Homo-oligomer: A and B are copies of this chain.
Amino acid sequence: MQQIIAIDAMGGDHGPAVTVPAVIQTVSKNPNIKIILIGDQNILNEQMISYFDTNAITKADEIKSRIIIHHASEKVAMDESPTKALRNKKDSSMRVAINLVKNGTAGSCVSAGNTGALMATAHFVLKTLPGIDRAAIISPFPTISGKQVRMLDIGANVDSTATHLYQFAIMGSVLASTLDHIDRPKVALLNIGAEEIKGNEQVKQTATLLNQNKKINYVGYIEGDEIFKGDVDVVVCDGFIGNVALKTIEGVSKLVFVFIKKSFTSSILAKLAALVAFPFLKKASRQLDPSKYNGACFLGLNGIVIKSHGSANIAAFANAIQQAILQTECNIPQKIRDEVSKMLQESKI
């Protein structure tokens, strides 16, 4: 079945220079998708022409026929206040992309734009699913075992209550079982100690709620270092904590490779060793490459909204579009709606 994806072409640190090539590459690879490319039509047309001019692309006309440019007169700046963007930018590329999901023209949308504005707009336009109070951002992370772990919320909400965290757990479990084909995904709560005595009030109350729900395979608390072990499939936390963890991961990965670089440039012998070691270090760093894991999404809304990293390159943005395709195929919002509705019938959330 053909899918239609709305792309906020102006979002992100690089805008159309990244989004347009990523769209063309994705359309070339996926015969069943159509893209609505939203933004300044002059800029987008130029980018399209320039890409097709400088790259040898087979079936260029067929590909072009599946990319529709949709003009939007405004764009949301990366540092704009979410409230202002929501109130004043009714014709922003971001807003239009979400509107197209709302009215059913597109099955999903992707944006690398301002996270706060995207969240506020998506919440306002699409609304949350019945039984879900707040949408959350979920993202995959690499682990030592090789399989990935999904963590939510990584920045949509601060001051989450136990009920919110409980709903995040349900949504994360549905996503992992559907997208990753895991029978009963292991769901853990991020805490500061494995012992029952530790943790703050919200986390303790959430544990009680999860223990009562037999449908969720709740496996208990884990600490920050255990996220990367690969023992669990879903990690649940408040958005403030999840975002600190996310950014800490970025910071530490960078720090480690800076120390390695310093070590390999500290002498002539070191520089010679670097020549030999470089391909293998490169291979290791690729496994941690954010582009491989790009494609955080908002869970809990009446529609699919994929959030690409603002600094995403072409490969990373293409990966985010791929996430949109996958989630549409799996019909994630409907799956969450069904699961929550079943649980609501069985117990009070």
Chain A residues at the B interface, C-beta cutoff of 8 Å: 79, 81-83, 116, 142-144, 155, 158-159, 190, 192-193, 195, 197-201, 223-229, 237, 239-241, 243-260, 262-264, 266, 270, 273-274, 276-277, 279-281, 283-285, 287-288
Contact partner, A228, options B195, B223, B243, B251, Cβ 8 Å: B251
B276 and A252 contacting across the interface, CB-CB below 8 Å: no
Max count, chain B CB within 10 A of own CB: residue among A79, A81, A192, A288: A192
Could you list 26 A-B pairs, sorted by A, with CB under 8 Å? A83-B197, A142-B259, A143-B255, A158-B192, A158-B199, A190-B244, A192-B240, A192-B243, A199-B240, A223-B244, A223-B247, A224-B244, A224-B248, A225-B248, A225-B254, A237-B244, A245-B245, A245-B248, A248-B248, A248-B252, A249-B252, A256-B284, A260-B280, A263-B281, A263-B287, A273-B277
Which chain B residues lie closer than 8 Å to A239 at the CB level? 192
Once the chains are docked, how many angstroms separate the CA of A279 from the CA of B267?
12
Given known contacts A225-B247, A244-B244, A280 and B258 CB-to-CB distance under 8 angstroms: no
Which residues on B sit within 8 Å (CB–CB) of A142? 255, 259
Contact A195 B244 (CB under 8 A): no
- Greatest chain B CB density within 10 A among A241, A257, A260, A279 is at A260
CA distance A280 to B8 in the complex (A): 44
A-side interface mostly: helix
Query: Do B277 and A280 touch (CB < 8 A)?
Result: yes
Q: For A229, give the chain B residue with the smallest CB separation.
A: B251
Report whether B241 and A240 are in contact in the complex, using a CB–CB cutoff of 8 Å. yes
Choose among B144, B193, B254, B279 the residue that contacts A258 (Cβ–Cβ < 8 A): B144
Residues of B contacting A225 in the complex (Cβ-Cβ under 8 angstroms): 247-248, 250-251, 254
Counting chain B CB atoms within 10 Å of each CB, the highest count among A79, A198, A229, A244 belongs to A244
**Apart from A224-B249, A252-B252, A260-B284, 12 more pairs, CB < 8 Å:** A116-B193, A223-B243, A223-B244, A227-B251, A228-B251, A228-B252, A241-B241, A248-B252, A260-B280, A264-B284, A273-B276, A273-B280
- Across-interface contacts of A158 in B (CB, < 8 A): 192, 199-200
Task: Check B224–A243 contact: CB distance below 8 A.
Answer: yes
A199→B228 CA distance, assembly (Å): 26
- Chain B residues, Cβ within 8 Å of A273: 276-277, 279-280
B260, A281: Cβ atoms closer than 8 Å: yes
Name A280's closest neighbour in chain B (CB-CB).
B263
A96 to B164, CA, bound (A): 44
Residues of B within 8 A of A280 (CB): 260, 263-264, 266, 270, 273-274, 277
Residue of B nearest to A198 (CB): B116
> Nearest Cβ distance between residue A275 and chain B, in whole angstroms?
9
Q: Which residues of B contact A245 (CB under 8 A)?
A: 224, 244-245, 248
CA distance A249 to B251 in the complex (A): 9
Determine whether the beta carbon of B251 is less than 8 Å from that of A224: yes
